[in-house]
Amino acid sequence: MRLSVREDPALDDIEVTIACPQVDRRVRRIVEAVEMDGMRLACTVDGYMRMVDVGHVLYAETVDGRTFLYLERDVGETGLSLAQLEEGLAGTEFVRASRQVLVNLAHVRGIRPYLNARLELLLSNGERLVVSRQFAPSVKTRIGF
């Protein structure tokens, strides 16, 4: 893979062009990473409203009708439902892991089979998440298994 950057003062925004013999898993991951750049979500952490970069969110979980964003060291609450998050994050590294959880695949450091055709994901902060049987095939496909 070759990478080149060209400055052009005449441009008013960043333009990304990818030239490849065919669109494969690597190309899709590059596109997803570029699309996530600059995306931010509002959440409340320790009583303060914060805007967090989507790339810093390890996973989102709904508990008792409330949706939480899990960051490396903090947990924030957002007013969005999991379905709204899933729709807004379509085409990014986020994938449904269960009815209650969306996980950011960019933070998955390991994956292994778990009981009853489920999967266990090891996240970048050492936390482990279980992917339900229903969503395991789509997670495997997105990861490339």
SS3 category, 108? strand
pLDDT of residue 5: 82
| For residue 100, pLDDT beyond 90 | yes
Q: What does the pLDDT look like over 10-58, one tens digit per residue?
A: 888 878 888 889 888 788 777 777 766 668 899 999 999 999 999 899 9
Provide the CB-side half-sphere exposure for 145 (13 A, CA). 11
The residues near 111 (Cβ < 8 Å, ≥ 6 apart) are 119, 120, 121, 122, 139, 143, 145
DSSP structural state of residue 144: T
Instruction: Find out whether 85 and 43 touch, Cβ atoms under 8 Å.
Output: no
Mean pLDDT, rounded, for 114-143: 93
CA–CA distance, 142 with 105 (Å, rounded to integer): 8
Average pLDDT, the chain: 89
Residue 42 has phi, psi (to 5 degrees) of -85, 135
Mean pLDDT, rounded, for 96-114: 94
CA–CA distance, 112 with 77 (Å, rounded to integer): 29
Percent of the chain with pLDDT over 90: 61
CA–CA distance, 111 with 109 (Å, rounded to integer): 7
